[in-house]
Structure 1
Amino acid sequence: MSTTEADTVNDTAGRWGQRPGTREGWLERAQDVAALLATDAVARDRAGATPHAEVRLLKESGLVTLLGPVEHGGGGQTWSTAYEVIREVAKGDGSIGQLLGYHYLWAWAVRLVGTDAQIDAVERLYTESDLFFGGAVNPRDSDVVITDEGDEIVYTGRKSFSTGSKVSDLTVLEGVLEGTDKHIFAIVPSDQEAIVYGDDWDNLGQRLTESGSVEINGVRVPWASAAGYVDKEFQPLVYNTLNTPTIQLVFANFYLGIAQGALDAATSYTKEKTRAWPFGGDDKDSVTEEFYVLDAYGDLQAKLWAAEALVDRAGERIEGLLHAERASVTAEQRGAAAVLIAAAKERIVATGLEIATKIFEVTGARATSNSTGLDIYWRNLRTHSLHDPVAYKRVEVGRYTLLGEIPEPTWYT
């Protein structure tokens, strides 16, 4: 898609034709969306406005229904495509790549823990109506309390993070049934009086993810909508625990997209604006002849290709489990996939932060101008890569390598 100065995220009506029918078509659509987002990503980041227009873009382009069943109007694609789409969108805007990645995870949550009837109902609902998911599930906070009121359960509590919050149509809630250790997921409408958003997301990076706090003041849910529960009892499967490795690889993919976007932006700036250094005793006519510039870009590109290969390998491994018969997934399969994802995440965090820092050495002092906006990549990567300590990912890989231990499922593993 060619862009012009008139193209903005707010002006997308009529842009999109028939939705793609192939993997290649969906990736091209994601590239088109990313190109549009990139035209004013820095300005939108600086403004920090609630990304209503950006989510409308994701809906109008069809990307929100990528994983939805074909029979309900969805793309019917697999997770390997979803991960690449997340990556492509994040090249244009890291915040929107995160929003889309979280949407895919929460849209899949009903498959992870729901009954067959719940899966069909939720996928039909969100796919046919192009609905967008957010989630109020933050394990570091105290559990949301659920009370049993006969035919209904009632959620009450607070979460300090709720990504997607005000721009979502549906919210995934999670809490613990009072007096028990039963965790219950439910999908509820986001726009209701019992859900109050704090409007307090004011962080260094990922500024457009609407990840602020949320108060849950008595959200009522029929027991029939308690995900995976039949007669108020849940029958666990290993498949239920795939939510964590799935979203950890969502992280790795939008980190990868941000890093790719950073390298692309830097190379463009270097070729167009950076000047050769005239005081080194070996003067060059062009910066593209500078040995230290060529060396730096070669090193960064090689590291990025290596990280991408590992992320893709991890995606192939988890995809095989996500699209398998749910009862067939074993703890060993799940653990091996989680270790590979931990390694991929660790590598792209390290590589991405190195790229986002070192690009200033090969673009020059003038590239630090606020109008250039190269700072956005480091800020975005630095902010979200603190989600959970990456050192624990290295330890998971170390235990697997040294002791043959697979990680136990947790909220972060």
Structure 2
Amino acid sequence: MTLPLHEALKQSPWQNQPVPHDAASWIQRADEVAAILAVDALERDRAAEIATHEVRLLKDAGLTTILGPTQFGGGSQSWQTALQIIQVVSAADASVGQLLGYHLLWAWAVRLVGTDDQIAAVEQLYTSENLFFGGAVNPRDSDLNIEDAGDHLIYTGQKSFSTGARVSDLVVLEGTLPDGAHVFAIVPTAQDGIEFLGNWDNLGQRLSESGGIKITGVEVDWAGAAGYVNKEFQPLVYNTLNVPLIQQIFTAIYLGIAEGALRTAGTYTRDRSRAWPYSTDPKDSASAEAHVLETYGDLRAKLWAAQALAKSVDEEISLILHADREALTAGQRGLIAVRVAASKQVASTVALEVTNRIFEVTGARATSNAVGLDIYWRNIRTHSLHDPVAFKRREVGEYELLGLLPEPSWYT
């Protein structure tokens, strides 16, 4: 029998087990993590405690280092596998899926913008010590201010959202120098200049630790300014892949939510829903009713289609992310951005439909708080507002009709 998270953590289920050696065994490991999270996901959502135990579970399972180099204890897996794992975890607990997805993004940030030496140092550090990442890079807020103090930089400012940072070991900062130049840096989370506001109190994704953060006088050596050599940034088209990547992470979270919702609703319908007796063709069980079967068939077909599109885009973006950084062209970057936009819009739409319509085939009693089917709708409704999906549809429309590719921005 699978135990609730707090009980399962008393002794790591993977203690003395080797690191998974291939994609299939990593996905199996993710399934094991998901089984633990699913037991008490609703109770933990309602308690809304700081996600310390959830992060420990991810670390114990090794999912935090699946992209890290093998020589330092990591999995050296592809982003295609990582995105599938995010989807598996999100089906059980979307908040934890979000924490994992954002961690993996920020762990990859040094590859996106760093120098070769910075990449080597950061990947050895976080992989060998199994450190967890958060980020303070919300672009809708004013940038953090950066002062150039000679041999080091000083960051100061505030961000409304900082997913994962409160439970992190390392946090990614982004700000601007007086001349407008942007600088990313990775700093230890536990320091006096970093304060968490503890104000994440939202409809869904309650354990994603997405509240505000205040930065006061955090110092970073110029050597830690990602992608800078002698105070000059070394630009690559590859630097701009952070947005397509995080948008595809969103797709994985959304599809995970939809999968979890459909799976849970199906169990409820089979075990607890009652047939409607006032019918010209009454059935003995709800599972035999035509409208119930039609609805489940419709939702499953749509979810399969969304998953198939996402799987294709996962493979495409993974190939780009693991290829030569200097070889990426603006055209290739634009094409993957529009493919990601298509994948995300479909996933968002399908997940919203699934999490809404499951109530039509579970019945009035399924709205009980004791059942908790609302967690899926609350989670997708909350996160799908991250940036307007209408703009993703427009990007795809501009490509289809006008042959235009999205220009890199904080959201494309």
C-alpha distance after superposition, 1:98-156 (max 9, x if no partner): 00000010000000000111001100010001100000001000111100001000000
Equivalence for 1:80 = 80
Equivalence for 1:100 = 100
- Cα drift, residue 329 of structure 1: 0.3
Query: Within 5 Å, which residues of 2 pair with 1:26-37?
Result: 26-37=26-37
Equivalence for 2:13 = 15
Query: Within 5 Å, which residues of 2 pair with 1:123-202?
Result: 123-178=123-178, 180-202=179-201
Equivalence for 2:210 = 211
* One-letter identity of the residue aligned with 1:58: L
Three-state SS of the structure 2 residue aligned to 1:50 is coil
Query: Within 5 Å, which residues of 2 pair with 1:102-117?
Result: 102-117=102-117
Equivalence for 1:317 = 316
- Cα drift, residue 7 of structure 1: 3.8
Equivalence for 2:243 = 244
- Please state if 1:400 is matched with 2:367: no
Equivalence for 1:229 = 228
Three-state SS of the structure 2 residue aligned to 1:171 is strand
* One-letter identity of the residue aligned with 2:299: L
Segments of 5+ residues of structure 2 without an aligned counterpart are: none
Equivalence for 2:362 = 363
- Cα drift, residue 285 of structure 1: 1.1
- Cα drift, residue 313 of structure 1: 1.1
C-alpha distance after superposition, 1:189-220 (max 9, x if no partner): 01111000000000000000010000000100
Three-state SS of the structure 1 residue aligned to 2:5 is coil
- Cα drift, residue 8 of structure 1: 2.6
- Please state if 1:289 is matched with 2:266: no
**Aligned partners of 1:71, 1:331: CA distance in 2, in Å?**
33
C-alpha distance after superposition, 1:218-237 (max 9, x if no partner): 10000000001000000100
Percentage identity across aligned positions?
Answer: 60
- Cα drift, residue 14 of structure 1: 3.1
- Please state if 1:277 is matched with 2:276: yes
- Cα drift, residue 317 of structure 1: 1.2
- Cα drift, residue 10 of structure 1: 4.6
**Aligned partners of 1:328, 1:127: CA distance in 2, in Å?**
26
Equivalence for 2:329 = 330
Three-state SS of the structure 2 residue aligned to 1:147 is strand
Which segment is superposed worse, 14-23 or 392-401?
14-23
- Cα drift, residue 385 of structure 1: 0.3
* One-letter identity of the residue aligned with 2:349: A
* One-letter identity of the residue aligned with 1:19: V
**Aligned partners of 2:28, 2:284: CA distance in 1, in Å?**
38
Is the Cα contact below 8 Å between 1:146 and 1:177 reproduced in 2? yes
- Cα drift, residue 78 of structure 1: 0.4
Equivalence for 1:307 = 306
Number of residue-to-residue matches in the alignment: 409
- Cα drift, residue 96 of structure 1: 0.2
**Aligned partners of 1:91, 1:41: CA distance in 2, in Å?**
10
Three-state SS of the structure 1 residue aligned to 2:283 is coil
- Cα drift, residue 387 of structure 1: 0.3
Is the Cα contact below 8 Å between 1:10 and 1:53 reproduced in 2? no
Three-state SS of the structure 2 residue aligned to 1:220 is strand
- Cα drift, residue 11 of structure 1: 2.5
Which segment is superposed worse, 10-19 or 400-409?
10-19
- Cα drift, residue 9 of structure 1: 4.0
Is the Cα contact below 8 Å between 2:4 and 2:40 reproduced in 1? no
Is the Cα contact below 8 Å between 2:8 and 2:36 reproduced in 1? no
**Aligned partners of 1:401, 1:376: CA distance in 2, in Å?**
36
C-alpha distance after superposition, 1:352-407 (max 9, x if no partner): 00000000000001100111110000000000000000000000000000110100
Three-state SS of the structure 2 residue aligned to 1:15 is coil
**Aligned partners of 2:177, 2:389: CA distance in 1, in Å?**
31
TM-score normalised by structure 2 residue count: 0.98
TM-score normalised by structure 1 residue count: 0.98
Equivalence for 1:353 = 352
Query: Segments of 4+ in structure 1 off by > 6 A?
Result: none
